[in-house]
Amino acid sequence: MKLVFATNNLNKIKEVQELIPKDIKLLSLEDIGCFEDIPETGNTIEGNAIQKANYIKEKYGFDCFADDTGLEVDTLNGEPGVFSARYAGDQRNSNDNMNKLLNALKNSINRTAQFKTVIALNSNNKLHTFMGICKGEIIISKRGENGFGYDPIFQPKGYNETFAEMDISIKNSISHRGKAVQLLIAYLNS
């Protein structure tokens, strides 16, 4: 089975490829000749995932799944949420985003947060969604070299390491994306 993962984020592709069964050939946007920016104009994480999966199916004809992820911080009323990638501006710079978030939380005692991923699958002209959540907290300063995005400042509940300090296999087993991908895989195998 061939399935397009609608992302240009090589880190996401690497993480998901580790989880997808070997009998599913994962295609990137580059593999199908998609070099344009896929619209992400939804006002929810789920809306963006659906929009991206539908775009690839309609424009390129491939069965496709897409994800959208947001970091939701309790004391900031769920921000940055759907705007996580562009929290500090359209340049989508992870360090700028983390610095803005750390600055917004500098006087906060409550640093609880969660990552939420929604995967939308458009396959055989049917749409399905799968959600994964990982609860944790935002630490005071960046730690770790692995991962991407907000990983150096997010410490999952029950762990002493940030996502950026974890081995990828541990991160994949507990992360929001890992949980959503496991639901996707269970559906594909059913």
The helix (H) or strand (E) run that includes residue 73 is strand 64-73
Distance between CA atoms of 184 and 163, rounded to whole angstroms? 22
Distance between CA atoms of 25 and 10, rounded to whole angstroms? 16
Give backbone dihedrals phi and psi of 44, rounded to 5 degrees, phi first: -135, 160
Encoded tokens for 11: 């880190």
- Identify whether the C-beta of residue 69 lies closer than 8 Å to the C-beta of residue 75: no
Encoded tokens for 38: 């896929």
Q: Indicate which residue of 67, 68, 96, 167 is catalytic.
A: 68
Residue with tokens 């399905």: 128
The partner residues of 122 in beta bridges, in order of sequence, read 64, 127
Max alpha carbon distance in the chain (Å)?
50
Say which amino acid occupies 111. R
Distance between CA atoms of 77 and 74, rounded to whole angstroms? 5
Q: Is 31 a catalytic residue?
A: no
Q: Which residues are catalytic?
A: 68
